[in-house]
Structure 1
Amino acid sequence: MIEERVTGSRLIRTALPAEAPAVAELHARARATYYPDGLPQDGTDWLAVWRAAIERPDGHVLCVVEHGHIVGIASFRTPEGAPADTVKLFQFHVDPEHWRRGIGTELHAACVEEWQADGRRTAVLDVHVDNRRAQAFYARHGWVPDPENPPAEGRHHLCLRYRVPGE
């Protein structure tokens, strides 16, 4: 598990329970960028979701802190029913005001480092079909369409897979 990773003025570390409101706010700002009609109001209490994710003993939430502010987040764990060497990246966001500054690349590298240390060999994720920016980011980092979960008619997400490099 990554305790802390310092890169220049950035610190990548595990998110703290008290940071759930800041994490939830960043999540909302990032998601708002790829919903053409605004964020769906489906009744999800995202603050409660993030509190639970941060406190989950079987999961992990990394955050990127720059100048005292959280500017990137990643949440992952083994999904229900998956092999132990598989991890699912449930959320991966960089604050839109901080895009194109290498934060996502550093956060992705920190995730991969942790997956390697945990003996993970495969990572999976779902990306929103309208989020072309994220799809391009993941493709640049080696993610490919998941052959076990091809796109289905009417689905709002694409399933991607990543082979975690061995050490």
Structure 2
Amino acid sequence: MIRKATQDDLDAISVLHTEARATYYRDHLPEEEYAGEAEVARSREGWARAVDREDATVLCAEADEDGALAGVAAYSVRDGVMTLSQFHVSPARWREGVGSALHLACVADWERRGVTTVRLEVFEPNKRAQAFYSACGWVPDPDQPRHGDHLVLRLALPRPPRS
């Protein structure tokens, strides 16, 4: 089930976020930068703000059998463009369709809003995420293909029909 996040989800979101980031930052960044106590606290505060923001959306994917958090996504408009700022699936749930279902829920919401372009940044060494996004139709952003050690990707959505 995909639903909007609430403040009650923050502990689970924080754990999932930290576990997912460890899979792609390990061996690339010092552990304290993605899993240290200060970073985890900073991250949790960021998620708390995002959940409360009226101009942002945080979606949770729950596992059907136990209701545990299996994935999380966050997006909002930045610099005039819808931006998928966070997209994580619990490593224990990879290859189970959680990411696909969560992505489809994001796309459905963007289409309802009339969004035609979405962007995201993905850590360059994170080949697993790059393959997932590519399979979902994301392509390198022609205007800004890189931002530091991240690749910038863009997803074009169909234009809404004129009424």
TM-score where L is the length of structure 2: 0.87
Q: Which amino acid aligns with 1:78?
A: V
For residues 26 and 73 of structure 1, what CA distance do their matches in structure 2 show?
Answer: 8
4+ aligned runs moved over 6 Å, structure 1: none
Match in the other structure for 1:108: 103
The answer for unaligned runs of 5 or more in structure 2 is none
Q: Measure how far apart 1:87 and its partner are.
A: 0.8
The structure with the greater share of residues assigned to helix is 2
Match in the other structure for 1:6: none
Q: Measure how far apart 1:39 and its partner are.
A: 3.7
Match in the other structure for 1:61: 58
1:163 to 139, 153, 156: 156
For residues 41 and 92 of structure 1, what CA distance do their matches in structure 2 show?
Answer: 18
Match in the other structure for 2:22: 32
Match in the other structure for 1:41: 33
> Once the two structures are aligned, what percentage of the paired residues are identical?
41
For residues 96 and 143 of structure 2, what CA distance do their matches in structure 1 show?
Answer: 33
Match in the other structure for 1:77: 76
TM-score where L is the length of structure 1: 0.85
Q: Secondary structure at the match of 1:78?
A: strand
For residues 48 and 162 of structure 1, what CA distance do their matches in structure 2 show?
Answer: 28
Q: Measure how far apart 1:36 and its partner are.
A: 3.1
Q: Measure how far apart 1:123 and its partner are.
A: 0.3
Q: Which amino acid aligns with 1:17?
A: Q
The answer for unaligned runs of 5 or more in structure 1 is 1-10
Contact (CA 8 Å) 2:75, 2:82: kept in 1 or not?
Answer: yes
Q: Measure how far apart 1:115 and its partner are.
A: 0.2
